[in-house]
Structure 1
Amino acid sequence: MSQEDHKLRQRIRYRHVEKIYKDLEELGYHDNDPLKVTDLITLDQWHYFGLEPVDAAIKLLDVREGARVLDVGAGIGGASRYLAHKTKCHVTAAELLPDNHRVGQDLTSRCGMTGSVKHVCGDIITTELGKQEFDHVMSFQVILYVEDKPRLFRQLYDSLKPGGTIFFEEFYRLKDVENSDEQAALDFFLLCVNTMPTQQDYKQLLEDAGFQVTVHDNSDAYSEYTHGRWENWDQQRDKYVRLYGEDMVDGWLKLIVTTKKLCNEFGLVGGGRFLARKV
């Protein structure tokens, strides 16, 4: 499947990648204006919990000035730019979808950060990463959508220097599906893959690739976050319709309601953080 045809393009966020420019307009920016990283980081963190998991990655990976870091599934580069800005490391922002890649390059350039963040577009499974190129790898709620996870983890293992570390935050399944309503919600959420691994599944895949693994469950926070996000969008629907249009807002709400069900009503999906070291 090509990058252009990938089913992930059906996800509401990726159909409206230009939304970031509307958000920047609300802050007073115009086309091609230079950007302040401190303004942009309030808008470009596409994963749950904003900057907090990136700060957790910085601490757990012990990212230092000059380190080489690979960001898997970088989207429009939010986490990559913040990481490079905060630690003065060098980040390779790898992204599958060309629209995300294009916008990410533009934002990085407007922030004056092309010297510290390099954008690469392609399938992470087939992209040439080099052998022992990176000190660290990070990823935020992306690995779920990689179909061949054993191959991915082997690829990342090979790309890390000896003793290199990987941090990723990810959704996982907390129990078996019990009825058709749960299955329908999970199918809608999964979109381009057939199954959602459990925490133990991920741990085993990492160990099979040669990593030493530590896991921190964060499912309670996922439940709280998805419920709070639904309340926000439900209560401020009129504001969001004014900014983004009714079709886009209704699409967002469908996804938001689904994740709330999965993480709250059904208790089917949670998430956590994985720290793995190359041994």
Structure 2
Amino acid sequence: MSQEDHKLRQRIRYRHVEKIYMDLKELGYHDNDPLKVTDLITLDQWHYFGTAPVDAAMKLLEIREGARVLDVGAGIGGPSRYLAHKTKCHVTASELLPDNHRVGQDLTSRCGMTGSVKHVCGDIITTELCNEEFDHVTSIQAIYYVEDKPRLFRQLYNSLKPGGTICLEEFCRLKDVEDADEQAALDFFLLCVNTLPTHQDYKHLLEDAGFEVTVHDISEAYSEYTYGRWANWDGHRDKYVRLYGEDMVDGWLKFIVTTKKLCNEFGVVGGGRFVARKV
């Protein structure tokens, strides 16, 4: 296991990947029960705004029935399953961490979706992808973990059919870091990489790989989301402690406080949605 892989495992979400099974028990499911996708999607979207970013990608890329889609940084497969369920497309869910991959495979199987969602585990940069294999690529809050983004975008470019499209939603740096408090918060947030690109950095990286790019700045929505999540935390804490224990809750709260500072008090981090077409 690489050092980067090891560091990424330390993020609070990934230390508690089995949490999803506790959540399912709260809904009345037992081990190995078949799952309803409509129940699971309330629990398995490991990013901001639930299924809304996936809906945005469907609309912006015009994903149709039968399309072949690559989901980069699939986590436990939430966006991949929702995308396949909504559009009847075929999704390859690519995930770096073995524990996330294992849980994702189990959930997909229990949803009866192995025919439409294929899980692959490994570094997307070194994963063997066929040239011109996919119609679309999607990724939500995962690319910022990748150190060698130029190589990644070249890999994705080659994997797309002519005219193929990408929709990426990512955290973006809005300004230069100004003091030690901002730097400490950003370092804690990034965890396993050293820098966070700006909106223009992402645009240029995609253009250098050969894409035509449209940038949507969604920083205001990220600011509202991170503040609201922090402001409403006390109303959920007792339930979370009962379900998941103090370790997870304390770690989760530290992350929530940090992202609220970065997106609101410091104004260092925002969000971007990048739509790109292979030309």
TM bucket (normalised to shorter chain) is over 0.9
Could you tell me which residue of structure 2 aligns to residue 141 of structure 1?
Answer: 141
Could you tell me which residue of structure 1 aligns to residue 197 of structure 2?
Answer: 197
What percent identity do the matched residue pairs reach? 87
Give, in whole Å, the separation in 2 of the partners of 1:147 and 1:194.
8
Q: Alpha-carbon deviations, 1:77-120, whole Å to 9, x = none?
A: 00000000000000000000000000000000000000000000
Give, in whole Å, the separation in 2 of the partners of 1:94 and 1:248.
26
SS at match of 1:250: helix
Could you tell me which residue of structure 2 aligns to residue 53 of structure 1?
Answer: 53
Q: Confirm or deny that 1:272 pairs with 2:272.
A: yes
CA contact (8 A) 1:3 1:96 kept: no
Could you tell me which residue of structure 2 aligns to residue 132 of structure 1?
Answer: 132
Could you tell me which residue of structure 1 aligns to residue 155 of structure 2?
Answer: 155
Alpha-carbon offset, residue 272 of structure 1: 1.3
Alpha-carbon offset, residue 229 of structure 1: 1.1
The equivalences for 1:2-17 within 5 A come to 2=2, 5-17=5-17
Give, in whole Å, the separation in 2 of the partners of 1:237 and 1:268.
27
Alpha-carbon offset, residue 3 of structure 1: 8.4
Could you tell me which residue of structure 2 aligns to residue 230 of structure 1?
Answer: 230
Unaligned runs of 5+ in 1: none
Give, in whole Å, the separation in 1 of the partners of 2:25 and 2:40.
12
Give, in whole Å, the separation in 1 of the partners of 2:33 and 2:153.
39
CA contact (8 A) 2:4 2:192 kept: no
Taking structure 1 as reference, are residues 6 and 57 closer, same or farther at Cα in structure 2, changes over 3 Å only?
Answer: same
TM-score between both structures, scaled by the size of structure 2: 0.98
Matched letter for residue 225 of structure 1: Y
The equivalences for 1:1-279 within 5 A come to 1-2=1-2, 5-279=5-279
SS at match of 1:267: coil
Taking structure 1 as reference, are residues 3 and 177 closer, same or farther at Cα in structure 2, changes over 3 Å only?
Answer: closer
RMSD of aligned residue pairs (Cα, Å): 1.0
Q: Alpha-carbon deviations, 1:183-211, whole Å to 9, x = none?
A: 00000000000001100000000000000
CA contact (8 A) 1:3 1:122 kept: no
Taking structure 1 as reference, are residues 259 and 118 closer, same or farther at Cα in structure 2, changes over 3 Å only?
Answer: same
Alpha-carbon offset, residue 4 of structure 1: 9.2
SS at match of 1:150: helix
CA contact (8 A) 1:81 1:108 kept: yes
SS at match of 2:28: coil
Alpha-carbon offset, residue 5 of structure 1: 4.5
Taking structure 1 as reference, are residues 3 and 43 closer, same or farther at Cα in structure 2, changes over 3 Å only?
Answer: farther
CA contact (8 A) 1:131 1:159 kept: yes
Runs (4+) of structure 1 exceeding 4 A deviation are: none
CA contact (8 A) 2:5 2:97 kept: no
Alpha-carbon offset, residue 231 of structure 1: 2.1
Unaligned runs of 5+ in 2: none
Matched letter for residue 258 of structure 1: T
Q: Alpha-carbon deviations, 1:129-182, whole Å to 9, x = none?
A: 110000000000000000000000000000000000000100000000011000
Give, in whole Å, the separation in 1 of the partners of 2:75 and 2:233.
22
CA contact (8 A) 1:135 1:160 kept: yes
Matched letter for residue 37 of structure 2: V
Taking structure 1 as reference, are residues 5 and 139 closer, same or farther at Cα in structure 2, changes over 3 Å only?
Answer: closer
CA contact (8 A) 1:68 1:134 kept: yes
